[in-house]
Amino acid sequence: MTTEEKQVYMLLKAVIFSYHGLDEEEKQNLEETAVEFDAKNELKWALDFIAQDFITAFDRARAYLNDIIGDYPKKDRIDLINMVWQANNLKGYVTEMEATAMLKLAKDWNVEKELIELVLK
């Protein structure tokens, strides 16, 4: 996995988790993911990106991710959305705000139908 791919992965996960404020379980999940992918620097980068302006973090992340992910193969875009959906499900629920954020990204990446199918499983 390249540095850019790690940044995308960590930013996507962190920005969705941060949509309502990170709880301890989400922080732990981010740390575990960073260890799993040898992406501690990329996690720090993602958290710094969000901290620059928490209010606009999702919109800025969305624009950043759209510039990069638009070139990804469809399967990779689906895998990224699925990853974030599954990570949210680990805590036992997905908030309306998180679901809305994921739907916006899925629509941007032309994988909205696939996200809905994943959710219905």
Q: Does pLDDT of 1 surpass 90? A: no
- Alpha-carbon distance 61 to 48, whole Å? 12
Task: Find out whether 98 and 105 touch, Cβ atoms under 8 Å.
Answer: no
Task: Find out whether 49 and 65 touch, Cβ atoms under 8 Å.
Answer: no
Look at residue 46 in the predicted model and tell me its pLDDT: 97
Identify which of 69, 78, 70 has the alpha carbon closest to the alpha carbon of residue 121: 78
Look at residue 97 in the predicted model and tell me its pLDDT: 87
- Alpha-carbon distance 82 to 102, whole Å? 10
Summarize pLDDT for 69-113 with one digit per residue, the tens: 988 999 999 999 999 888 888 778 888 888 899 999 999 999 999
Annotated domain spans of the chain: 3-120
Q: What is the pTM of this model?
A: 0.89
Look at residue 45 in the predicted model and tell me its pLDDT: 98
Summarize pLDDT for 5-58 with one digit per residue, the tens: 999 999 999 999 988 778 898 899 999 999 999 999 999 999 999 999 999 999
- Alpha-carbon distance 6 to 42, whole Å? 6
Q: Does pLDDT of 121 surpass 80? A: no
